[in-house]
Structure 1
Amino acid sequence: MNLSNSSETSNREPSERNLSKLCVHTITTKPWPIEEAARRFSASGIGGITVWRDALAGRDIRQTGQLLRDQNLSIVSLCRGGFFPHTEAAGRQVAIDDNKRAVDEAFALGAPLIVLVCGADPGQSLSESRKQIQDGIAAVLPHAEAAGVKLAIEPLHPMYADSRSAINTLYQANDMAEALHSPWVGVAVDVYHLWWDPTLEREITRCGKNGNLFAFHICDWKTPTTDFLNDRGLMGEGCINIRQIRGWVEATGFTGFSEVEIFSNRYWSEDQALFLEKIKHGYLHHS
């Protein structure tokens, strides 16, 4: 693929870009309650917000959705569903029921999409966990379709294959989405999980051909990484060629948001207003 032709937006100078296609996850600024996050994001010119389910605890979800829209924020997605595999049938049913509740929450919030962290069970083979993931999504799919909520399979880095996700490459996610054969099922591309994959460009192109690229998440991989879960970097702080991957994504025709999803004990301990300024700078200059 010729990156010079992949996207006019990808080649813009920072001064020519704005924040209208920047989305920030509530988990990224976890110390802020969702009301403050929404106010701060909106005042900064950020266009979108992805809501984590914990941020909705104790709140009227419909009212919260209206609050976000009143702040001129697009509700990009709800995180997260998934965690389907279990060695016991009762455990798998609990997961299916919880994912149906997530669909109901997304509908009430006004979120068009749920991102699925698919899960794994170390007590069984990865192939069995993958079968249970596909079966679980199939069981939830009619409920999601009736609610008008899409489901995005998010592959996670192989270091999480033991218990967080048996779906570890975009190839696997594409295969599963194609097998489920529904316009309501697609994939989420997260650079933190996929930047290392030598087939990434080809599989992103495959997403474009299938029309199933639903979400694009960005952050950076720090070297050294001190915590493989909670030490993600700001864009430009690590070794991921985010701009190149964004070019591949946009070459598919994807016009959605770049979603900043950063888990960081370091940044959660800082002044969140200053952190938000760093997020904006990283997005404009390094993605």
Structure 2
Amino acid sequence: MADLQRLSLNQATVQNWSVQQAVEGCVRHGIPSIALWRHKIAEAGLDASVKHVRDAGLHVSSVCRGGMFVAPTTEERRERTIDNFRAVDEAAALQADSLVMVVGASPQVAIADARKMVSDGLAELVPYARKHGVKIGLEPLHPMYAGDRSVLNTIDQSLAMASPYSADEVGLILDTFHFWWDPYAYEQIKRAAGRIFGFHVCDWIVPMPDMLLGRGMMGDGAIDNHGFRMAVEAAGYNGPIEVEIFNQALWNSDGDHVLATVVERFTKLV
């Protein structure tokens, strides 16, 4: 199945680990790439995070996350724009393949207005990202998050949001957890050819134990991760494949055991 050299550890999978611990874990388990979360970068310090990654010889597949453009007040939206500029700076320093965008949502903002805020936020952010050589990856999230996390909920919709920009500036992060249910997913993946900046895998546990912290290890649920990997490769994406699992039970368990399982399931099932 999947080549281990394609594997990237998304730091969310070992949430309790620091940047240094996650980097050292990757080295122990032969994982060549890592995706870092910004709150962990802040804890370690950006310079230290860069040093940990560089000294270990790891590739940074993404920085998670920017976005959250949606807010009910102008002041809040301005603060988020400034924070997104900082996120670009961090992604540039880490030489990440892309900066992942979870675009935001709010129950206080009508969904059509929220999508306009996302469009306006991107228009302001993309020139800054271009100047710093950072690619912006829009991640469509499952519709169950449309009220509080993201008003981008399908691949097709995200492609439309990316379309005003060149294909080397704004693309998509495709996470199987978010689109596996979509009957048009394979068709939309084909349409995304040339704009796929990242590919994430995990599994959809039945029944879902928690809508935020209930993702499963590959093979423990309903998602055909291998089928989707073949589809994104047919669409031209051959970059790192991130394993991103938000799961409290995993976070409470031994991190090295988690990484050993990630490697086993990735190479057999993805």
Q: Give the structure-2-normalised TM-score.
A: 0.96
One-letter amino acid of the structure 2 residue matched with residue 45 of structure 1: G
Distance 2:20 2:223 in 1: 32
Task: Determine helix, strand or coil for the equivalent of 2:198.
Answer: strand
Q: CA deviation at 1:182?
A: 5.5
Q: How does 1:121-200 map to 2 (within 5 A)?
A: 121-181=106-166, 183-200=168-185
1:102 aligns with 2:87: yes
Aligned residues: 270
Q: Take 1:282 and 1:167, find their aligned partners in 2: how far apart are those partners? A: 29
Aligned-partner SS, 2:267:
helix
Read off the aligned partner of 2:141 and give its amino acid letter. L
RMSD over aligned CA atoms reads 1.3
Structure 1 gaps of 5+ residues are 1-11
For structure 2, list consecutive stretches of 5 or more residues without a partner in the other structure.
none
Give the secondary structure class of the aligned counterpart of 1:236.
coil
Q: Deviations over 1:129-184 (max 9, x none)?
A: 11110110110111101110010000000000001000001110011111344531
Match of 2:70 among 79, 85, 102: 85
Q: Bigger shift: 54-63 or 156-165?
A: 54-63
Report if aligned partners of 1:118, 1:165 keep a CA contact under 8 Å in 2. yes
1:279 is aligned to 2:251: no
Q: How far apart are residue 31 of structure 1 and its match?
A: 1.4
Partners of 1:155 and 1:63 in 2: how far apart?
31
Partner in structure 2 of residue 3 of structure 1:
none
Percentage of pairs with the same residue:
38
SS for the counterpart of 2:136 is: strand
Distance 1:121 1:180 in 2: 25
Give the residue type in structure 2 aligned to 1:135. Answer: D
Q: Deviations over 1:100-149 (max 9, x none)?
A: 01011112222231000000121222111111101101101111011100
Report if the CA contact (8 A) 1:25-1:49 is conserved: yes
Displacement of 1:55? 1.0
CA deviation string 1:230-285 (max 9, x = no partner): 01000000000111111110001111011000000111111111111111111011
Counterpart residue number, 1:249: 232
Counterpart Cα distance in 2 of 1:188 and 1:245: 13
3-state secondary structure, aligned to 2:237: coil
The one-letter code matched in structure 2 to 1:202 is: E
Aligned to 1:66: 51
Moved more, 180-189 or 88-97: 180-189
In the alignment, the residues of structure 2 paired with residue 259 and residue 80 of structure 1 have an alpha-carbon distance, to the nearest angstrom, of 14
Higher-RCO chain (CA-CA 8 Å, sequence separation at least 6)? 2
**Who is 2:253 aligned against?**
270
- For the 8 Å contact 1:69–1:75, the answer to whether it is kept is no
| Offset at residue 63 of structure 1 (A) | 3.5
1:114 and 2:107 correspond: no
AA partner of residue 209 (structure 2): T
